[in-house]
Chain A
Amino acid sequence: MNYHWDWGIFFKSTGIGQEIYLHWFITGLGWTVALSLSGWLIAMLLGTVLGVLRTLPQRSLSAIGTAYVNLFRNVPLLVQLFVWYFIVPDYLPEPIQTWFKQGLKPEISGFISVVACLGLFTAARVCEQVRTGIQALPRGQINAALALGLNPWKTYRHVLLPQAFRIIIPPLTSEFLNIFKNSSVASLIGLMDLLAQTKQTAEFTANLFEAFTLATLIYFTLNMSLMLMMRWLEKRVKVPGLISLGGK
């Protein structure tokens, strides 16, 4: 193969002001991080609420959680994105619709669509983990809380959830990394995230291999750091003397 490798291209001017190609990667990374963290915030809040709902004795409440999980886990992420970006805005009530389509900058309305998509999709997965975390706890924990007069809300808040979250840190880590990788769907609706900037650099410079090598390295380093951070968190919240919370 007759490919001319040139690692210097990242420092060449893009032809727009003082900008070099590396700047594109940096702003792209910024969008990727912003999309993923905002989506994660939604996923954690909504996923926790739904996960708790699925463990409640009231059938109608747990059915809400089950229906949500089935809907959002069985439709491809990309289909969900197109729904949020192309279809849902058309069905918004009037003043909001005009504001969303015309009042907002295109990258902001795109950002909102992608964050909604990532957040709601990942919430279904977080929900399942929160549910299993709670169900892994011994029945005696609920009984002990009830016997002391704690109401259901306080039982979850002080007794069940702190233990459930400790159990599910490892699978949650994997969801947390997934949302960063899944955020690359943003490039398909024209949002200039890390992947979109990489493609653009490849097209402008014809240095396709260098551009994608750098993108790979950035995604890899980012996710490795997140993984190490979660490991640190897991150690930090570990309960002394306790190996596993499961059991009787």
Chain B
Amino acid sequence: MIRFNKVNKWFGRDHHVLKNITLEVKQGEVVVVCGPSGSGKSTLIRTINQLEPVNDGVIIVDGITITDPKTNINKVREEVGFVFQHFNLYPHLTVLENITLAPIQVRKMEKAAAEQLGVELLERVGLLNKKDVYPAQLSGGQQQRVAIARGLAMRPKVMLFDEPTSALDPEMIGEVLKVMQDLAESGMTMVVVTHEMGFAREVSDRVIFLDHGEILEDAKPEDFFTNPQHERAKQFLRQILAPMHQ
């Protein structure tokens, strides 16, 4: 579904953020990307829908070479849902309008059909009673669930999550992870940048550990958590799973 072949990216001349990334995500797979801050994980996920262009290498999504300058990138973006750390809902539109905007404008769906779809998705994320309010009237967790519904409204083949719970108060993280878990169980292909190791352990099929722009580990979660290969990964796990939390 997604394939990276020797992808490189620099910020400016000296900062090599992605180094020779080669990676494959199969249909229906849930892949968690983790690593210390500044390791390039957000950049990596943003290259999948070209919110960040790359300098070198090939990325293929759903059979389309998106690094080819001749590719109409909007066509690929229609198939790839993206959930941001800061939600980025449109503040001037109601919850339902946030969800129906792209289906109506991009997919050319009838308004009534788009609203029907919006209602179904809001029911799925448990926010049907909020359909006519504005984003600023919702809590962070509710906004993020709306953002997930907005991404799903395009009926994407892949969903990307860029630290979806990092901006949330702790008591709201669970409700968002629950929605993501349901989505994973429904068979959605997902790439998730997150520090939620519980989610990685229980929901994901694979964990990728990134450090200084390099993939150091690419393993099943049980192997990654019990037997990491690299010293950097061991150190990262020690810090993130600090004994105080055990």
Q: Which of B49, B92, B133, B137 has most chain A Cβ within 10 Å? A: B92
> Given the known A-B contacts A240-B136, A241-B134, are A151 and B88 also in contact in the complex, defined by CB atoms under 8 Å?
no
**Could you tell me the distance between the alpha carbons of A148 and B147 in the complex, rounded to whole angstroms?**
11
A240-B136, A241-B137 provided; 7 other pairs, C-beta below 8 A? Answer: A146-B51, A147-B51, A150-B105, A163-B90, A239-B136, A242-B91, A245-B91
Residues in B56-97 with C-beta less than 8 Å from chain A: 74-75, 77-78, 80-82, 84, 86, 88-92
Instruction: Name B residues whose Cβ lies closer than 8 Å to a Cβ of A.
Output: 49, 51, 74-75, 77-78, 80-82, 84, 86, 88-92, 101-102, 105-106, 133-137, 150-151, 154
Is A138 part of the binding interface, using a Cβ–Cβ cutoff of 8 Å?
A: yes
- Give the chain B neighbours of A166 by CB distance below 8 A: 92
> Is B77 touching A163 in the complex (CB atoms < 8 A)?
no
> Is B88 touching A140 in the complex (CB atoms < 8 A)?
yes
**Could you tell me the distance between the alpha carbons of A245 and B81 in the complex, rounded to whole angstroms?**
25
**Could you tell me the distance between the alpha carbons of A139 and B76 in the complex, rounded to whole angstroms?**
21
Question: Out of B90, B102, B137, which one reaches A149, CB within 8 Å?
Answer: B102
- Give the chain A neighbours of B77 by CB distance below 8 A: 146-149
Question: Out of B106, B134, B137, which one reaches A148, CB within 8 Å?
Answer: B106
Instruction: Name A residues whose Cβ lies closer than 8 Å to a Cβ of B.
Output: 138, 140-141, 143-144, 146-151, 154, 158-159, 162-163, 166, 239-242, 245, 248
> Given the known A-B contacts A140-B84, A241-B136, are A149 and B91 also in contact in the complex, defined by CB atoms under 8 Å?
no
> Is A162 touching B84 in the complex (CB atoms < 8 A)?
no
> Given the known A-B contacts A140-B88, A166-B92, A240-B136, are A151 and B74 also in contact in the complex, defined by CB atoms under 8 Å?
yes
- Give the chain A neighbours of B91 by CB distance below 8 A: 163, 239, 242, 245
Chain B residue with the shortest CB-CB distance to A240: B134
Some 15 contacts from A to B, beta carbons below 8 A apart, are A146-B77, A147-B151, A148-B78, A149-B77, A149-B78, A150-B101, A154-B106, A158-B101, A159-B90, A163-B92, A241-B133, A241-B137, A242-B136, A245-B91, A248-B86
> Is B134 touching A144 in the complex (CB atoms < 8 A)?
no
> Is A149 touching B75 in the complex (CB atoms < 8 A)?
yes
- Give the chain A neighbours of B134 by CB distance below 8 A: 239-242
> Given the known A-B contacts A148-B77, A163-B91, are A143 and B51 also in contact in the complex, defined by CB atoms under 8 Å?
yes
> Is A144 touching B78 in the complex (CB atoms < 8 A)?
no
**Could you tell me the distance between the alpha carbons of A94 and B202 in the complex, rounded to whole angstroms?**
80
**Could you tell me the distance between the alpha carbons of A159 and B78 in the complex, rounded to whole angstroms?**
17
Q: How many A-B residue pairs have CB under 8 A?
A: 78
Q: Which of B51, B102, B106, B150 has most chain A Cβ within 10 Å? A: B102
Expressed in whole angstroms, the minimum distance between the Cβ of A246 and any Cβ of chain B is 11
- Give the chain A neighbours of B90 by CB distance below 8 A: 141, 144, 158-159, 163
Chain A residue with the shortest CB-CB distance to B82: A147
**Could you tell me the distance between the alpha carbons of A154 and B74 in the complex, rounded to whole angstroms?**
12
- Give the chain B neighbours of A240 by CB distance below 8 A: 133-134, 136-137
> Is B150 touching A148 in the complex (CB atoms < 8 A)?
yes
> Is A143 touching B84 in the complex (CB atoms < 8 A)?
yes
> Is A147 touching B105 in the complex (CB atoms < 8 A)?
no
**Could you tell me the distance between the alpha carbons of A166 and B91 in the complex, rounded to whole angstroms?**
11
> Given the known A-B contacts A140-B86, A239-B136, A240-B137, are A149 and B92 also in contact in the complex, defined by CB atoms under 8 Å?
no
Chain B residue with the shortest CB-CB distance to A139: B88
**Could you tell me the distance between the alpha carbons of A141 and B89 in the complex, rounded to whole angstroms?**
7
**Could you tell me the distance between the alpha carbons of A240 and B78 in the complex, rounded to whole angstroms?**
30
> Is B154 touching A149 in the complex (CB atoms < 8 A)?
yes
> Is A158 touching B105 in the complex (CB atoms < 8 A)?
yes
> Is A147 touching B49 in the complex (CB atoms < 8 A)?
yes
**Could you tell me the distance between the alpha carbons of A135 and B123 in the complex, rounded to whole angstroms?**
35
**Could you tell me the distance between the alpha carbons of A144 and B151 in the complex, rounded to whole angstroms?**
10
